[in-house]
Structure 1
Amino acid sequence: MRFSFRPTEGAFYELFTKAAHNLVRGTELLNELALPGVDVQSVSDRLTEVEHDSDQLTHELYQKINSSFITPFDREDIYRLGSQLDDVMDHLEAVGSLLYLYGLTKLPSLPREMHELIAVLDEQAKLTADAMPRLKTMKALEDYWIECNRLENEGDRAYRMLLVRLFSGEYDALTVLKMKEVADELEAACDAFEHVANTVETIAVKES
């Protein structure tokens, strides 16, 4: 493998930013599921396309690390951040796929708490997309990880209330099992966003 001795910092930041914008696209697609008469299969298919694009970005990032002699910060942190951004996208895509495959959008309505979780994810995605370009200067990032962690706590509360709703007797047992799996993916996505924020904090502290 050929190594590049030229500084390639810009390429790393660009890949992180593209991956984060894919997460915004992912949460926007999940929000479409609340629209009346939505084509759920189309939403699921488009989420899968975005997930595939994110996989490609992650692959490009790994190639860039392995072919670069100089990296903007620790290689392990670059790997970790790229992998964590990809993890978020995997969870978002799983939500769309499960809702479609289980036919849950055929219910009169999805639980309000499920939409609250998606709203939290949407905020986390936008915060993350806004923060990634600032990695280049390592400035004005503290508010990002503080707010992202706060939102994760908000997501945890919505998740707990969703579980209360699911086990209230409002739904039949099979529907509960299906929606519990979707709820777990939503909660995992909230956690994954927090992992991204924690890694950004670690990087910023190391580079300060």
Structure 2
Amino acid sequence: MRFSLRPQDSVFYEYFTKAAENLVRGTELLIELSVPNADVQSVSERLVEVEHDSDAITHELYNRINSTFITPFDREDIYRLGSQLDDVMDHLEAVGSLLYLYGLTSLPSLPREMHDLVAILDQQARLTAESLPRLKAMKDLKEYWVECNRLENEGDRAYRMLLVRLFSGEYDALTVMKMKEVADELEAACDAFEHVSNTVETIAVKES
């Protein structure tokens, strides 16, 4: 039996869980934002509020690290995981803001591939929120990072197909530029989710 001399301060895990749950709220709002006749301004403002809430969680996490002598696992990994969760939310909020500010939701419809990317992000968010509470026990996490990597690969394919669509001549040049910026943020969010899962894998391997 393996014994650990590290304290099992549950508050760190609570911060990670709250941050992950916020990511689900973020992807839910992106789905709502992309629905025809959505109250775009209201949804975008709520997404900004969720992003601010995530910032507050991250700051609380950092303060806790700085005031704790011995952490449950390497403090560098705690910093990294907290920062990466916050990075995901930043990308989600950027997608919502750009869709609103560029007026892209007023188009007859957004490209199907853009909806595909949002759906993949929602899957990644729910997977992350379901898995991070298991970090405390360091058990049953491998399926999480394997599936998150698979979803990231799926997101890459959807992103490439979206680029093909954007440069097919279907849209005018200005709309293409706007949508390309949104597409880049969507792809960056997919990558950021994978970074989170990679860090969880690193922590699990170190603590095993």
Q: Place the TM-score, normalised by the shorter chain, in its bin.
A: over 0.9
**How far off its partner does 1:7 sit?**
4.2
Moved more, 33-42 or 156-165: 33-42
Residue matched to 1:55: 55
Letter in 1 for 2:185: E
Residue matched to 2:205: 205
- Partner Cα separation in structure 1 for residue 179 and residue 36 of structure 2: 20
- Give the unaligned 5+ runs of structure 2: 1-5
The alignment status of 1:164 with 2:167, answered yes or no, reads no
Q: How does 1:139-150 map to 2 (within 5 A)?
A: 139-150=139-150
Letter in 2 for 1:27: T
**How far off its partner does 1:8 sit?**
6.0
Residue matched to 2:19: 19
Q: Write out per-residue CA displacement over residues 81-110 of structure 1, whole angstroms, 9 at most, x where no aligned residue.
A: 000000000000000000000000010000
- Partner Cα separation in structure 1 for residue 167 and residue 33 of structure 2: 23
Letter in 1 for 2:63: Q
- Partner Cα separation in structure 2 for residue 50 and residue 68 of structure 1: 27
Residue matched to 2:189: 189
Q: Write out per-residue CA displacement over residues 54-82 of structure 1, whole angstroms, 9 at most, x where no aligned residue.
A: 00000000000000011110000000000
Letter in 2 for 1:22: N
- Partner Cα separation in structure 2 for residue 140 and residue 9 of structure 1: 20
- Partner Cα separation in structure 2 for residue 31 and residue 110 of structure 1: 12
Instruction: Please report the TM-score for the alignment, with normalisation by the length of structure 2.
Output: 0.96
Residue matched to 1:76: 76
Tell me, yes or no, if the aligned pair for 1:7 and 1:71 is still in contact at 8 Å: yes
Tell me, yes or no, if the aligned pair for 1:113 and 1:159 is still in contact at 8 Å: yes
- Partner Cα separation in structure 1 for residue 156 and residue 199 of structure 2: 20
Letter in 1 for 2:53: D
Residue matched to 1:42: 42
Describe the SS at the equivalent of 1:37.
coil
- Partner Cα separation in structure 2 for residue 203 and residue 99 of structure 1: 36
Q: How does 1:102-121 map to 2 (within 5 A)?
A: 102-121=102-121
- Partner Cα separation in structure 2 for residue 158 and residue 83 of structure 1: 26
- Partner Cα separation in structure 1 for residue 195 and residue 62 of structure 2: 19
Letter in 2 for 1:90: D
Tell me, yes or no, if the aligned pair for 1:8 and 1:68 is still in contact at 8 Å: no
Residue matched to 1:86: 86
Residue matched to 2:129: 129
Tell me, yes or no, if the aligned pair for 2:36 and 2:109 is still in contact at 8 Å: no
- Give the unaligned 5+ runs of structure 1: 1-5
Moved more, 13-22 or 32-41: 32-41
Residue matched to 2:3: none
Moved more, 94-103 or 34-43: 34-43
- Partner Cα separation in structure 2 for residue 138 and residue 48 of structure 1: 32
Tell me, yes or no, if the aligned pair for 2:117 and 2:155 is still in contact at 8 Å: yes
Percent identity between the aligned chains? Answer: 83
Describe the SS at the equivalent of 1:138.
coil
Letter in 1 for 2:144: Y
**How far off its partner does 1:180 sit?**
0.1
